[in-house]
Amino acid sequence: MATNKLALIRYKTIDNCLKNRFRKWTLEDLMEKVSDALYEYEGISSGVSKRTVQGDIQMMRSDKLGYNAPIVIVDRKFYSYEDKDFSITNSPINTADMEKMKEIVSVLKHLNGFSYFDEMSDMIAKLENNLYKSSDKKKNYIQFEGNTRLKGLEHINPLYQAILNKIPLLIEYQSFKALQSRQQIYFPYLLKEYRNRWFLLAKPQKGMLLTLALDRIVGFHQLQKDIFVEYDGVDFERYFDDLLGVTKSERDRAHKVILQFDKQNAPYVLTKPLHHSQTLLKQDENGIIIRIDVVLNFELEKEILGFGECVKVLGPRQLVGWIKKRTAKAAAQYTEEKSLPK
């Protein structure tokens, strides 16, 4: 018989606690967190007994659900995972739950014809392919772009729950430029994916909106909900409307970017626009000139540089200068004679 919903909520809550290495967890702490989760998701206000949580821990430790969780007791008081990288979310799905998921995918496939589900087509195909590949060991008939080795993917669900439930977070973060990580309180608002990399849009207690890469998050800890501050700025659909990528501050505004492409790359740019604002200004036997209205950021530069010698930036002047400098530096690397490493 498939595991019931309340049990899954309890297991997932205990798992989230034990994955959090920022604090030590007593049985009473786990009971409190599980009770909070049951109230949050199911409206159950009666709490949970010590016996139930102890039973859940034993079930997670066992092979009955395939978890085999390495839960240990430290100093006869504190519960934790012996393996700091362990999570029950990494465990295989049991047969009963697998069959239930196949049923759900079947229902989703029937709904896929309705307009509300138009954007779910690729997700449904991916779910079905992964389910049948896992359960029947069949060939993979559809391949999606992805990087399973990407750091930070394990943060997606707990961060999503924090956004959903308006929970402030103490996040330890280390940017690529920083020598050391730094802890700061953030109010999380949005998860965003860009080219198989995930980002969190959040606001520190003091300051403006920031975009944090999930693969640079060292860890995070949930705080009391009563200090959460709602975001009252522009709708996030509009916030990213004038953007290529994710890098932007609240002060940034779009610029009229004019690009000239040669005739070989013109069909590619016309059939796959760089941005939804793209308009064709000129087309002749030499190629095309287009305009896009976007914020000047790192991702825009990277997109332009990706076309190499096949594109020329005509405006604005600031962007022309940036691309000139970067292409000159790239070319300079090939003028210096260096011996190959042995």
pLDDT band of 271, cuts 50, 70, 90: very high
pLDDT at 120 over 80: no
Q: What is the CATH number of the domain that holds 60?
A: 1.10.10.10
Question: Would residue 245 count as lying in a domain?
Answer: no
Question: Would residue 250 count as lying in a domain?
Answer: no
Tell me which of 175-179, 180-184, 252-256 is least confident. Answer: 175-179
Q: Tell which wins on pLDDT, 158 or 112.
A: 158
Answer yes or no: do 123 and 164 share one domain. Answer: no
Number of domains in the chain: 4
Question: Would residue 173 count as lying in a domain?
Answer: yes
User: What residue type is assigned to position 11 of the chain?
Assistant: Y
Q: What is the CATH number of the domain that holds 228?
A: 2.30.30
Question: Would residue 165 count as lying in a domain?
Answer: yes
Can you give the pLDDT at residue 278? 97
Answer yes or no: do 78 and 99 share one domain. Answer: no
pLDDT at 208 over 70: yes
Question: Would residue 146 count as lying in a domain?
Answer: no
- In whole angstroms, give the CA distance from residue 204 to residue 192: 18
Answer yes or no: do 26 and 62 share one domain. Answer: yes
Owning domain of residue 82: 5-90
Question: Would residue 213 count as lying in a domain?
Answer: yes
pTM (2 d.p.): 0.62
pLDDT at 117 over 80: no
pLDDT at 1 over 50: no
pLDDT band of 129, cuts 50, 70, 90: low
- Kindly state the percentage of the chain with pLDDT values over 90: 52
Answer yes or no: do 58 and 45 share one domain. Answer: yes
Answer yes or no: do 26 and 48 share one domain. Answer: yes
Question: Would residue 246 count as lying in a domain?
Answer: no
pLDDT at 174 over 80: yes
Question: Would residue 58 count as lying in a domain?
Answer: yes
pLDDT band of 195, cuts 50, 70, 90: confident
